[in-house]
Structure 1
Amino acid sequence: MATAKLAQWAVNLQFSQLPSSVTQAANRSFYNWAGCAIGGSTHPATLKASTALRPFFGQPTSSLLGRSASSQDGKADAQHAALINGIASHVHDYDDTHLETIIHPTGPVASALLAQAEALETPTSGKDFLLALVAGIEAECKLGLTVWPKHYDLGWHITSTVGSIGAAVAVGKLLKLDEEKMGHAISIAATQVTGLREQFGSDTKSFHIGRSAQNGLLAAALARNGYTGSLHALEAKRGWVNVVGAGSNRLEEMVGSLGTIWEVEKNSFKPFPCGIVVHPSIDGCIQLHDEMRERGLVANEDTIESVKARVHPLVLELTGKKTPIDGLQAKFSVYHGAAVGLVMGKAGPAQYEDPLVISQEIVGVRERFEATADGNLMADEADILLTMKDGTVLRKHVEHAIGSLEAPMTDEQLQTKFKDQSMPVLGRNGTAAASKAFRSMEGAESVAKIAPSI
């Protein structure tokens, strides 16, 4: 049965079984996650959550990234640290993406895992940490593939609905649960289904990731202490797959591929902090911005006649907000992403700040942008036709957007992204220390010493 097979695989997985390409992907995924969590630590949604929940914090064992470990606000109990860091890591929509399922895998898993590792009395080595991280990411992505796309089409936020299970597997691995207790952890996590797509564009979207991390950590802790659940929670008639997956029948196939096809190797990293389906349009518009500059042209509402884009159908389904009113909504607007790309030649966190989203400079260009769904295009592809009022016509076809598996971000680009997010929060020296610490996880003697040392 699938629940037992997943538990058995996770428990028996050894670091020596991981190909070097898998450990490299895991290192990159965690490094990217840490930068996102630090960058999102000062976002209003993160601060609102931590302020509201601080009266309920328990023993301060685990770091809240982006805050001084020596300050009163720098730590929380493991449960709340997983929640708050999970929120912070996703709030800018800048985290990693498993493109086959559009799951953001590392958020739920790493948020729970780091919180638990810091709370343990015995030190966790970098290798043990990465091993658990891989186990959790593989579990959630395999389950995502099992129910994709029906699950997502029904309205579930797939990152958080599988994230609880991935986090439980990872933390269970760290806690050295046996096969039976790992099965119970998976079961307890599976019953905590979190996340509705209706929440996209609000504070609650990032809450999904934090809550799934917290749920997974809770599931592993309960199972460790003998708490039970159905050991057929994934595959049973009224189990997770059949309830949330609209009767998908790929569970045995996906669980059977564990350890032979590594999903973490398919992880991609975002160059822009918004829905990943927007990235081809942004990429193309930035290229058009650069071409216009070379020709001595500028992009604004007075110079642009129209911008017409052909995009994958998911773009309009997921990011069709024509008139976003703030930065969170703009992350789901292909119109805003294209506009800032054309006008400013960039689309970083600053381009998704509330004042810019509603500025006439951007709104005027946004209103001239038209997107049409084309089912013949790939998800990382876009075709953009720009017509200027002076008669100039420019076209850009993006075959594979930057950040896709075919055009991946380099280690240098990931480092720049990390620094851009961390610098406003930690300053230059703190950012340098954090980048060095989180980039070399595999050689760490004790994971618990990393965050407090920054």
Structure 2
Amino acid sequence: MTIENKGAAGASEVAGLSQEVAQFVLATQSADLPDLAVANGKKSILDGLGLALSGSVAKSGELVRRHVADISTPTGAATVIGSDLKVPARFAAFCNGVGIHADDYDDTQLAVAKDRVYGLLTHPTAPALPAALAMGETLNASGADIMLAYHLGVEVECKIAEAINPRHYQEGFHATATCGTFAAASAAGRLMGLDLPTMKRALSIAGSQSAGLRENFGTMTKPFHAGRSSESGVVAAQFASYGWSAAGDILEAPRGFFKAAGGGYDATAIDGKLGAPWTFVEPGVSIKPHPSGSLTHPGMTKMRQLITENNITAKDVRRVRIGTNSNMPNALIHHQPQNELQAKFSMEFCMAILLLEGRAGLTEFTDEAVLRPDVRDMIAKVDFVVDDRAEAAGYHLMTTYIDIELTDGRTISGMADFGKGSPANPMSYAEVADKFLECAQFAQWDSGKANEVVAMVAELEKLPDIHGLMALLRL
């Protein structure tokens, strides 16, 4: 690496990976987005807006609005979705990030390398979209500019998550919290029109705010991670614009993000790979059909299919065996869940509720449902184990084997590598719209307003600004 010059705030500006990321964020134009990336991005944007609505009525939604009130936030220009609040951009990013991730129903990046845990890298929309919306609404940006900023944030977040050593996630960091901060800084910085030295400092400030531990999965602190990463990215871009000093090589430096948080990184996964291909094109982003950890979804998709094809009812079931690779129980850690948040990370609950109800949506993931006697009895019949066949398939797959032992002596079996909503079995825009409307209904949102949002997101790049869109998402 070579020292180029001194930035306006006095920090050394270094030519390297951080500069490459910053240049990508600032130089990319809307015309550079492939049509498939735009189409898939709109599905994730609509999905995120619906989740922010449903998340607004979660207990965490009430608490983040209390937080905003407690700090006596002055009136701002950015909407807290599902409320009547307009607050400064950083706080809207926080509230909406928490809301999108509150039900663990948001989209998921898919891994490429076989040593990385497929479906576990990061939730790309939860940090990137709230930052883009909050800054875009504040700055009166066009729909096209906001959509581009969102795409840039998602791309930076996903490529960083793909590059960092797998140890980062496996030993406890939550990539949505850590890598998501760079997404939000990229989206906000692009909309703010930062120059190259300032954008590099924004990334550096974001890196020093990057935090979040997986031990908190199954609690409100997991969605807190998403909200805080989105807010931190906005704050990073704002402080950089003030002239706040920071390092110029935060990603690749010996004491920078990749080394400190992961012990290193695979340069071939990010160097020259930003937008080549776009993550939304290859390998794709998965949209969830159920409000639970993404690793449950291949098994849940296959379980629903087996139930339907074989007319299985709960009373027919003697025992169920679910076999996966060893990294999946490392995330699905709640084998006897006691509340809805733990149930999202319980393979046993997800299978039990499907066998009992035939579905697993927002209304099934409640504390009351988790503690029902019939649910507890069915959970006890589910064995979640490591399967050598799934282990051999590689961690880049979510291979799940199911064996349902019935009371009549038959065993019904199936296997899946992917779930509904993955690029291998994608949702259409209409199907995502149905999910959005489910979320809106769950939040008791006006159906007319909800349908208008569906139509506006489909034409997002044509909107001169997003004030009308955000008004539909506000009380």
Q: TM-score interval w.r.t. the shorter chain?
A: over 0.9
Q: Aligned-residue CA RMSD in angstroms?
A: 1.6
Alignment CA distance shift 1:394-1:253 (3 Å): closer
Alignment CA distance shift 1:253-1:429 (3 Å): closer
Alignment CA distance shift 1:453-1:407 (3 Å): closer
Q: In the TM superposition, what is the alpha-carbon distance from 1:136 to its structure 2 partner?
A: 0.9
> Could you tell me which residue of structure 2 aligns to residue 437 of structure 1?
456
Instruction: Map 1:100-115; keep pairs closer than 5 Å.
Output: 100=111, 101-115=120-134
> Could you tell me which residue of structure 1 aligns to residue 327 of structure 2?
314
Amino acid paired to 2:432 = L
Residues 168 and 185, structure 1, Cα contact 8 Å, conserved in 2: yes
Distance 1:288 1:320 in 2: 25
Residues 320 and 335, structure 1, Cα contact 8 Å, conserved in 2: no
> Could you tell me which residue of structure 2 aligns to residue 95 of structure 1?
106
The percent of aligned pairs where both chains have the same amino acid is 30
Amino acid paired to 2:435 = K
> Could you tell me which residue of structure 1 aligns to residue 259 of structure 2?
242
Indicate whether 1:82 and 2:93 are aligned: yes
> Could you tell me which residue of structure 2 aligns to residue 401 of structure 1?
419
Distance 1:335 1:421 in 2: 24
Residues 315 and 334, structure 1, Cα contact 8 Å, conserved in 2: no
**1:311-348, Cα deviation, whole Å (9 max, x unpaired):** 23222111131110000000000000011111111111
Residues 36 and 280, structure 2, Cα contact 8 Å, conserved in 1: no
Instruction: Map 1:376-387; keep pairs closer than 5 Å.
Output: 376-377=392-393, 379-387=397-405
Gaps of 5+ in 1: 68-72
> Could you tell me which residue of structure 2 aligns to residue 254 of structure 1?
270
Distance 1:80 1:236 in 2: 31
Distance 1:93 1:186 in 2: 26
Residues 289 and 343, structure 1, Cα contact 8 Å, conserved in 2: no
**1:159-218, Cα deviation, whole Å (9 max, x unpaired):** 110111111011111111111111111111011112101110111000000000000000
Task: Give the SS at the match of 2:64.
Answer: helix
Residues 121 and 169, structure 2, Cα contact 8 Å, conserved in 1: no
**1:92-126, Cα deviation, whole Å (9 max, x unpaired):** 00101011153100110111111111112xx3111
TM, length-normalised to structure 1: 0.94
Instruction: Map 1:103-142; keep pairs closer than 5 Å.
Output: 103-120=122-139, 123-142=140-159
Amino acid paired to 1:411 = Y
> Could you tell me which residue of structure 2 aligns to residue 339 of structure 1?
352
Alignment partner for residue 33 of structure 2, among 18, 26, 29? 18
Aligned length: 441
> Could you tell me which residue of structure 1 aligns to residue 186 of structure 2?
169
Distance 1:25 1:307 in 2: 35
Instruction: Map 1:20-419; keep pairs closer than 5 Å.
Output: 20-56=35-71, 57-67=73-83, 73-100=84-111, 101-120=120-139, 123-248=140-265, 250-251=266-267, 253-265=269-281, 266-293=284-311, 297-300=312-315, 303-374=316-387, 375-377=391-393, 379-419=397-437
Q: Which has the higher helix share?
A: 1
Amino acid paired to 1:363 = R
> Could you tell me which residue of structure 2 aligns to residue 448 of structure 1?
467
Residues 2 and 252, structure 1, Cα contact 8 Å, conserved in 2: no
Distance 1:453 1:310 in 2: 44
Distance 1:235 1:153 in 2: 21
> Could you tell me which residue of structure 2 aligns to residue 70 of structure 1?
none
Alignment CA distance shift 1:253-1:394 (3 Å): closer
Residues 311 and 377, structure 1, Cα contact 8 Å, conserved in 2: no
Amino acid paired to 2:99 = A
Gaps of 5+ in 2: 1-15, 112-119
Indicate whether 1:420 and 2:438 are aligned: yes
Amino acid paired to 2:258 = V
Alignment CA distance shift 1:113-1:433 (3 Å): same
Alignment CA distance shift 1:247-1:399 (3 Å): closer
Amino acid paired to 1:77 = P
> Could you tell me which residue of structure 1 aligns to residue 5 of structure 2?
none
Residues 101 and 226, structure 2, Cα contact 8 Å, conserved in 1: yes
Distance 1:110 1:395 in 2: 40
TM, length-normalised to structure 2: 0.89
